[in-house]
Amino acid sequence: MSVTTPGLVLDVTETAPETAAEQRGRLADSAALYRRWERQQWAVAQVDPARDAATWESLTPFSCEQMLGSLGELEVGEVTVTHTLGALIDAPPTEDDRIFLCTQLADEARHVRFFQTYLEDACRTGLDAVEEGADYSEVFTPVLTRATDAVRQNPEDRESWYRALVYYHLITEGVLAATALRTTRFLARRLKLEALEEGLTNVTRDESRHVSYGLRAAQDGVAGGFAQVVEDAHFESLGAAAWVLIGPSRHNPVPALHAALLSRAAQIRGSVEIARERLAKQLRLVGLPHVAEKAVASWDLAVETALDAYAERWNAPHPIRAAAA
């Protein structure tokens, strides 16, 4: 779920979505997150995606292709999480959890509408053009669907609920979506796509609440005897997550200019590092600091596996490896 544009290098030090309190390990509960949701409302119509249309038409073909690829992955991800969240709402640990998760479902539907509207009004393209071949739909959607279906089939099975929570809130949203939003928002700012930057900022704020909920719920699960489930779910999902981030099914041509190659590779590596850092951070926050190092090693291996798959698929090195060579 990374995007790259020659000459633009991602600032991996940009502030992450968590609040300062959460970075210190004090995680908000679902009732507090509900109150935050009430204060942070926004509307797609207020963003007015059509105001980016003229700027979008002036972008280079390369920038258009890369941005459309990123928007396609984000849209597919939002559709998937909208379809699968209901299972977690049906069987949460507490009623406050249920109430917050209902607000999250409304958020996810709003995100779907934002990306649909932006693609139609600003990019002048249909959903089919960007959704086809998205790595998320091919790789992670089936994984997340299986995890949430297990909750639907046995709502009383708390282990299944916490496993689905990790796949949904901590991997899909905490690692993949957070990384993609951060990267895409950075590029939107540099390309002066003002409506897209505004919309992505709103989406990121929503996702911050969702990830905060996932962290607190997982922390409660670890404290309540489900530590092994939370740990296992992280390791089970890393291969698919790294695959989506690298995107072996998408051709990522190596630029002829060496400086452009270095810039593109640095940007993709920046996205990989953001995901890696988020993975380690969330394991520490939920109460599993002892497995963070092992998880990072597994992440690095999964990234290398995805890079191998890219080379095999396209008979050429991925830009990350081309730059290293």
Give the C-alpha separation, 166 to 170, whole Å: 5
Structure tokens at 116: 């649909």
Lowest mean pLDDT among 6-20, 40-54, 206-220, 264-278: 6-20
Residue 11 has pLDDT above 80, yes or no: no
pTM of structure? 0.89
In a domain, 203, yes or no: yes
Encode pLDDT of 45-90 as tens digits. Answer: 999 999 999 999 999 888 888 888 889 889 989 999 999 999 999 9
Angle formed at CA 90 by CA 200 and CA 34, multiple of 5 degrees: 45
Q: Any idea what the CATH number is for the domain that residue 186 is in?
A: 1.10.620.20
Query: Three-state SS for 25?
Result: coil
DSSP-H helix ranges across 53-140: 53-57, 61-84, 86-90, 95-121, 127-131, 135
19 falls within a domain: no
CA atoms within 13 A on the CB side of 106: 14
DSSP for 143-156, please give it.
HHHHHHHHHHH-TT
Report pLDDT digits (tens) over 122-171: 998 866 666 665 678 888 999 999 999 999 999 999 999 999 999 999 99
**Residue 235 is part of which domain span?**
28-324
The total of structural domains in the chain comes to 1
- The answer to whether position 14 is within a domain reads no
Count CA within 13 A, CB hemisphere, residue 123.
26
What's the chain's average pLDDT?
89
Interval 267-291 mean pLDDT: 95
**C-alpha pair distances (Å), 28 with each of 24, 73, 93, 240, 307:** 12, 29, 16, 29, 37
Distance CA 98, CA 202 (A): 23
Confidence at 255, pLDDT banded by 50, 70, 90: confident
User: How many other C-beta atoms are found inside a 10 Å radius of the C-beta of residue 185?
Assistant: 20
Is residue 18 in some structural domain?
no
pLDDT range class, residue 7, cuts 50, 70, 90: very low
Please state, in angstroms and rounded to a whole number, the distance separating the CA atoms of residues 42 and 110.
9
Q: Is residue 201 part of a domain?
A: yes
- Closest listed residue to residue 144, CA positions, set 200, 77, 189: 77
Residue 10 within any structural domain of the chain:
no
Assigned domain for 273 exists: yes
Structure tokens that stand for 9 in this block: 């290098």
Burial class for 109, CB neighbours closer than 10 Å (0-12, 13-18, 19+)? middle
